[in-house]
Structure 1
Amino acid sequence: MRTADVVIVGGGIHGCSTALHLALRGLRPILIEKDYAGRHASGVNAGGVRQLARDLHEIPLSIASMGLWERIEELVGDDCGFESHGTVLVAETETELASFRARVEDLRLRGFTHEELIDRAELKRLVPAVADHCPGGVVSRRDGAADPFRTTQAFRRRAIEKGAEVLEGVTVTGLSKVGANWRVETSAGPIEAPKVVNAAGAWADRIAAMLGEPVPLTVVAPMLMVTSRVPAFIEPVVILRGRKLSFKQLGNGTVVIGGGHLATSNRDRNETVLDWDKLAISARTVWELFPAMRAATIVRAWAGIEAFMPDGIPVIGPSSTSEGVFHQFGFSTHGFQLGPGTGAMMAELVATGSTNTPIDGLGIERFR
C-alpha cells in the first residue's frame, strides 16, 4: 500500500504546481496522471500569461500568480520562455471601446489598477501593425506569454526535486474513505492519504461524481494555429472580445493564433478533430486586423482537451461533501496564467485549512 500526505489527481500545470508548493511546505505528495504531464490543456494552449479581462472572482488569484510568474526561474529553475510585453485588448468600434471604459472604471472603484484604457495613439504605439479603424483598447502592461509545455514540465521536475512523487500513465478508478484516510484506487494499485486534490481537468467531473458532487462540466478543445516566420512586427499579446482571437508573435518570427474556436473532442479516446471552417474564420480575422500577416502561411494546427464550466470560471476550494478533498479544475480555456498562484494557494489551503488569497465564488457548492 502506497501512502502519501496528499494525493493529487491530474498532471497539468495546476496539479504540478500544487505538488511543488506542497513539497515546499514539507509535505509528501503523490501526483497521478493518466497520460503524461502537460498532455492536454496545460501543454498545448496559447501560453498567454494574462491578468487582462479576468472575471472578478479570478482577479485576486491572477494578481497573486503574476507575482510568481515574475520570479518563475527562481521558483522552478527555468525561465519557461516567459516574456512580459503586456497584453492588449483591441476595440474594433467606438461602442466596444465605451464598454471597455466602463469596465476599467468599475475595476478602479474596486481597487484594481492592472487594466488601463488606451486611445488610438497609444494602441498604435504598442501595436503599430493593427488596422487603422481600431479606436483604442485596454492594456495590462505586466502581462506576457510563456511556453506552456516547457512550463508544465518545469513545475513537474522541480516538484520531484523537492520530494513529490509523480506517477504517469496511471488512471484513477475509485475514491473512498477508509478510516481517517482517503483510498485512491488506481491502475497501479491503491494509494492512501488524508488529503486529495482533484486537478483532473476535463476528467475532474468524474472524480467529483465519486464524492456525490456532480458538476455541469463541458469538455471542449480550443484550436490553435502557428504560421510561417514573418519579420518581427508585434511584441504584446493581442486579444479581441467581439470576435474570437488571441494573437502573439514568437521570438523565431512565427505567430500563434487562437482565441476560442473549438475542435470536436472525445475525452474517452484522448482525441480531437479540427474544424477547418472555424480555423478559416480565425485566419480571416487576422487578415483583416493585421495586414502585415497577409503573406504568411499556416504551418500547423492543433487542439487540446479542456474543461469548461457554465459560468466560465474555475472550481477551486474544498469539497462540499467530503472532508479532506479539494477541487482545482474547470479553468475554462484560460487557466495557464493562474497555475503558479493557484498551486501556491491550494497548498496553503490543504496544509493549513485556510488561505489568504480570496477564492469567494469559486467553490463547487455553487452548482448544488
Structure 2
Amino acid sequence: MNRAVVIGGGLHGLSTALHLARTPGWAVTLLERRHVGRHSSGVNAGGVRRLGRDLAEIALSAVANEMWHAMPALVGDDCGFQATGQVKVAETEDDLRRMAQREAQVRALGWTHEELVDRAELRRLLPAISPHVLGGLVTRDDGAADPMRTVMAFRRAAEAAGVAIREGVAVTGLAATAAGTIRIGTDHGPFEAERVANCAGAWARDLAALVGEDIPCGVKASMMIVTERMPRFCEPTVGGSSRPLSFKQTATGTVVIGGGHQGRNDPAAETSTVLFDSLAHAARIASELFPIMRGARIMRSWAGIEARTPDQIPVMGESRTLPGLFHSFGFSGHGFQLSPAAGAAIAELMARGATNLPVAPFSQDRFRSAA
C-alpha cells in the first residue's frame, strides 16, 4: 500500500485526499494545523462560477462545473449548490464594450457559456436592479453553494473513503529519505510517505520554502458582509464590471456582499481584521446597484486569509526540488468552484505522475519565464 500525506485541511486538501483515497492502492493521511475549514474554505462567498474566469482557468472550471452539477454522486450531498446563474452587470457603455470583447474572446476559444444580454433581459433576471444599469454578461447555470456545508461534506466523504484526518498537527519540515520516500516533520512526531500534497493555502509558500523553492505568492483577506433578512428580490449571484462587487441573496433572505474588498491580514498570527471604511464602500456599491438595499442593516462581517499569486491563478504541479511533493495553492480568491476538479488533478498526478485534466497553465515554471 502506497502512503500519501496531504498538508492542509481546506477544501483543496480535502478534495485531493478524497480523490486519492478512492484510487486503489493508496492510504491517505491529511494533516491540518488547526481544524478543517478554519480559514478561507469555510468563510468565502460560495461562488460557483465560470463567468469571468482567467482564460487559463476556463477549461478546469468547465470540468469542475460538471462535478458541481453531480455533487451528490461525489460526496453524498449537494452542498447547498443552486444553479441560479451568475451575472456581471454593466453600468456604462465602456462596460458593455468590454463585455462584448470578453464574450467574443471566450467564444473564439470554443466556449459558449458566457452570454451578453441587453437591458430588457437583465431586468428580467434582476428586477430590482437600478435603472442606470445597461446590460450584463451572464452564465446561466453557474450559481452558489454553502461553503462550510461543502467543507463538511468533503470531510465526511474523505473519511468514509479511508482518509485519516489529523487536526492540530503542524508541519515543521519536509525532506527526502534514503529510501526514496518523504519525511514529514511535525510537532506531533514524523510521518513518512511516498507522495505529499502541499495544499496549505496562505501558508503553502512557507512549506515550499522548506524544500528550497521560492514560489511567488502573497496573501489576501477578502471581507464579507451579511445583512438582515429581506424580501426575496434576487436569484442569481451578481458581480460588478467596473466596480468590485459580489452579491447574492441566500435562501433565508439575508444578503451576502463581498467583491474582493480587502481587510488586514496577519499570516503569522493566523488572523484577519475587518476594515470598516472598506466595508462601507462595498455596502454603498450594493445599494447603488440595488436600491432596495438602502437602509438594510448589516448583521455581521468577517474576513478570511487566502493565498494570492502575482497573476491571480494557482500553482499546481510537482515540486522542482523534491520529487513526490505536489503543490496546489494560490487560488487567489476564486478556488472554491475549482476545488473538485483541482483535487482530482493533483490526486492523479500523485498516483500516476500524469493527468488529462487541464492544469498545464498552472506550472510554477511560468514565474521563471517571467523573470
1:62 and 2:47 are equivalent in the alignment: no
Counterpart in the other structure of 2:6: 8
CA displacement 1:181-238 (0-9 Å, x = unmatched)? 0000011111111111110000000111112111221111000000000000010000
Question: 1-side partners of 2:12 and 2:251: how far apart?
Answer: 26
Structure 1 contact 4–191 (Cα < 8 Å) conserved: no
TM-score computed with the length of structure 1 as normaliser: 0.98
2:361 counterpart SS class: coil
TM-score computed with the length of structure 2 as normaliser: 0.97
Question: 1-side partners of 2:343 and 2:83: how far apart?
Answer: 21
Query: Aligned ranges for residues 260-279 of structure 1 at < 5 Å?
Result: 260-279=260-279
Question: 2-side partners of 1:53 and 1:188: how far apart?
Answer: 43
Counterpart in the other structure of 1:111: 110
Structure 1 contact 77–158 (Cα < 8 Å) conserved: yes
Question: 2-side partners of 1:207 and 1:214: how far apart?
Answer: 10
Structure 2 contact 345–359 (Cα < 8 Å) conserved: no
Counterpart in the other structure of 1:166: 165
Structure 1 contact 4–192 (Cα < 8 Å) conserved: no
> 1:4 Cα deviation (Å)?
6.0
1:283 and 2:280 are equivalent in the alignment: no
1:356 and 2:363 are equivalent in the alignment: no
Question: 2-side partners of 1:337 and 1:69: how far apart?
Answer: 8
Structure 2 contact 237–248 (Cα < 8 Å) conserved: yes
Question: 2-side partners of 1:36 and 1:4: how far apart?
Answer: 25
Question: 2-side partners of 1:357 and 1:125: how far apart?
Answer: 37
CA displacement 1:144-191 (0-9 Å, x = unmatched)? 101101101110111011111111111000000002100000111111
**Ranges in structure 2 where 5+ consecutive residues have no aligned partner:** none
Counterpart in the other structure of 1:37: 36
CA displacement 1:119-144 (0-9 Å, x = unmatched)? 11111111111111111111111101
CA displacement 1:228-257 (0-9 Å, x = unmatched)? 000000100000131111000001000000
* Amino acid corresponding to residue 138 of structure 1 in structure 2: L
2:106 counterpart SS class: helix
> 1:287 Cα deviation (Å)?
1.1
* Amino acid corresponding to residue 244 of structure 1 in structure 2: P
Structure 1 contact 247–256 (Cα < 8 Å) conserved: yes
Counterpart in the other structure of 1:298: 298
2:96 counterpart SS class: helix
* Amino acid corresponding to residue 290 of structure 2 in structure 1: F
Counterpart in the other structure of 1:321: 321
Question: 2-side partners of 1:245 and 1:178: how far apart?
Answer: 49
Question: 1-side partners of 2:143 and 2:331: how far apart?
Answer: 19
Counterpart in the other structure of 2:72: 73
> 1:269 Cα deviation (Å)?
1.2
Structure 1 contact 4–30 (Cα < 8 Å) conserved: no
Question: 2-side partners of 1:166 and 1:126: how far apart?
Answer: 43
Q: CA RMSD in A?
A: 1.1
Question: 1-side partners of 2:336 and 2:89: how far apart?
Answer: 21
Structure 2 contact 7–32 (Cα < 8 Å) conserved: yes
Question: 1-side partners of 2:106 and 2:271: how far apart?
Answer: 40
Question: 1-side partners of 2:141 and 2:241: how far apart?
Answer: 20
> 1:350 Cα deviation (Å)?
1.3
Structure 2 contact 230–254 (Cα < 8 Å) conserved: yes
**Ranges in structure 1 where 5+ consecutive residues have no aligned partner:** none
* Amino acid corresponding to residue 365 of structure 1 in structure 2: D
Question: 2-side partners of 1:213 and 1:340: how far apart?
Answer: 26
Query: Aligned ranges for residues 144-163 of structure 1 at < 5 Å?
Result: 144-163=143-162
Question: 1-side partners of 2:149 and 2:298: how far apart?
Answer: 23
Question: 2-side partners of 1:315 and 1:216: how far apart?
Answer: 10
CA displacement 1:11-62 (0-9 Å, x = unmatched)? 1100000110011112211111111111101000000001110011111110
Counterpart in the other structure of 2:307: 307
Counterpart in the other structure of 1:48: 47
Misfit runs of 4+, over 4 Å? none
* Amino acid corresponding to residue 35 of structure 2 in structure 1: Y
Question: 2-side partners of 1:304 and 1:222: how far apart?
Answer: 6
1:90 counterpart SS class: strand
Counterpart in the other structure of 1:232: 232
Counterpart in the other structure of 2:249: 249
Percent identical among aligned pairs is 53
2:343 counterpart SS class: helix
Quick check: 209-218 or 172-181, which moved more? 209-218
Question: 1-side partners of 2:114 and 2:355: how far apart?
Answer: 25
1:28 counterpart SS class: strand
Question: 1-side partners of 2:128 and 2:206: how far apart?
Answer: 46
Structure 1 contact 57–360 (Cα < 8 Å) conserved: no
Question: 1-side partners of 2:80 and 2:114: how far apart?
Answer: 24
* Amino acid corresponding to residue 12 of structure 1 in structure 2: G
